[in-house]
Structure 1
Amino acid sequence: MNISEKWNDVDVYFSTKLHTTDPVMDLILKTNSEAGLPAIDVAPNQGKFLYLLAKLKGAKNILEIGTLGGYSTVWLGRALPDDGRLITLEYNSKHAKVAEENIRKAGLANKIEVIVGPALDTLPTLKEKGISTFDFIFIDADKPNNPQYLKWALELSGPGTVIIGDNVVRKGHVIDADSEDESVQGVRQFIDLLSDESRIDSTAIQTVGSKGYDGFVLGIVKNI
């Protein structure tokens, strides 16, 4: 057994032991695959990790940058209280349509709004929707724009806001300062901003599993 197979089997082990059968989430993944969406959703245990983080935070207003087919969106939406709200931003109109249907099937259409268009165009409009701050923000879109997404996340945060960034290890290539990969450089700039930013306390966690070798950045906005 190679190391990637072992990572996958460990994910299956934990998911089998710690997750109940979840037909809704299984259906979302099936729908995404049949619609031809790329298989880049978070893994089931990572989705539940996001759900638990949002629950621990007691999040009522969640922002997600990057929807795809709504798999992580539904995990986060499940963490919301009855009066909670989640806004998710998706560039691709086809992906957004699939996500909206998945969200409806999950029974969360009353809590989740999908906004279609480039996130850097739609982010400036969010305050017009009556939400000046979010208490939980998940960044999982195109990596070259991560530095700009972080700036907007901080603009839309208050003291205690949790900010999560996905896919920050890039299979270890994040340490390569000379990489010609725009996603790697976007993540490196994202990390540099966090390193220099006095308003947020942050760290990174490397992950291995069914999605390979990658990781999350986790940060909490300070009370300053």
Structure 2
Amino acid sequence: MSMQHWNNSHTAQSTIWDQVDEYMNALLIPGDKALEEALEANAEAGLPSYDVTPNQGKFLQLLLQIQGASRVLEIGTLGGYSTIWMARALPEHGRIVTLESEAKHAAVAESNLTRAGLMHKVDLRTGPALTTLPDVKEDYAEPFDLIFIDADKPSNPDYLRWALRLTRPGSLIIGDNIVRDGEVIHAGSTDPRVQGVRTFLEHIGNHPRLEAVALQTVGAKGYDGFVIARVTDAPVTK
């Protein structure tokens, strides 16, 4: 297959993925002013368009509700779009701690969360996550019910180590952007993001107290996927 033919085929697939997302979202996810305004504010502030899609945000929200989560940790806030989805799933006494390395992004997120009326459920911390996670551990004695990892991919293995310290049997650990448009299968990749994801997945697969599955996704954000791991109280037979 020529490169031009591959590009044309990929473009055609992406168009179909977009259209299917739009169709499903129109049926299942009502329009939402606060979420739409958050995306507009992110774009106006020049933030990168790394937000989860509406159906991915709803997926996270449903996972929290199924889990009965009241304590959530998000590593990678960006403009707070995914934070809004998850904070809405929490009970009134619930709390989501969200970590953002960039002060500009955190300021936009705080504005979006305030506009959405959710800041009373949010502990937004600014600074590199590997420097703020020790404080989170000190400040929150109870383990988190769910941890969503969606930050710099080379640090994913370190984030996993922290996630295991901050969870309990039954907690969920979710990692985003693990397929990298299929590049994850290339052991010799020179992309540190790909290598970070590969090591992250290997550590999950080899950990005796994690049971996990990875799901490929296609849609408005292209070809990617999630890994969902559950912490167990006994070694998993693999």
TM-score (norm 1): 0.98
Distance 1:123 1:207 in 2: 29
Distance 2:142 2:196 in 1: 26
| Matching residue's letter, 1:94 | K
Identical residues among aligned pairs (%): 54
Bigger relative contact order (CA 8 A; separation at least 6) = 1
Q: How many residues align?
A: 224
Q: What does residue 52 of structure 2 align with?
A: 42
Where do 4+ consecutive residues of structure 1 move more than 4 Å? Answer: none
- The residue correspondences of 1:20-59 to structure 2 (distance < 5 A) are 20-59=30-69
Question: Does residue 216 of the first structure (1) align with residue 223 of the second (2)?
Answer: no
Offset of residue 59 of structure 1: 0.4
| Matching residue's letter, 1:127 | K
1:21-52 CA distance string (max 9 Å, x none)? 21110000000000000111000100000000
3-state secondary structure, aligned to 2:214: strand
Q: What does residue 135 of structure 1 align with?
A: 145
| Matching residue's letter, 2:213 | T
* Residue segments in structure 2 that go unaligned for 5+ positions in a row: 1-10
Distance 2:142 2:157 in 1: 20
* Residue segments in structure 1 that go unaligned for 5+ positions in a row: none
Question: Does residue 76 of the first structure (1) align with residue 100 of the second (2)?
Answer: no
Offset of residue 132 of structure 1: 3.6
1:157-192 CA distance string (max 9 Å, x none)? 101001100000000000000000000000000011
Offset of residue 53 of structure 1: 0.4
Q: What does residue 169 of structure 2 align with?
A: 159
- The residue correspondences of 1:160-199 to structure 2 (distance < 5 A) are 160-199=170-209
Structure 1, 125-134 or 52-61: larger mean CA deviation: 125-134
| Matching residue's letter, 2:212 | S
3-state secondary structure, aligned to 2:119: coil
| Matching residue's letter, 2:153 | K
Q: What does residue 65 of structure 1 align with?
A: 75
Higher Cα Rg, which structure: 2
Q: What does residue 158 of structure 2 align with?
A: 148
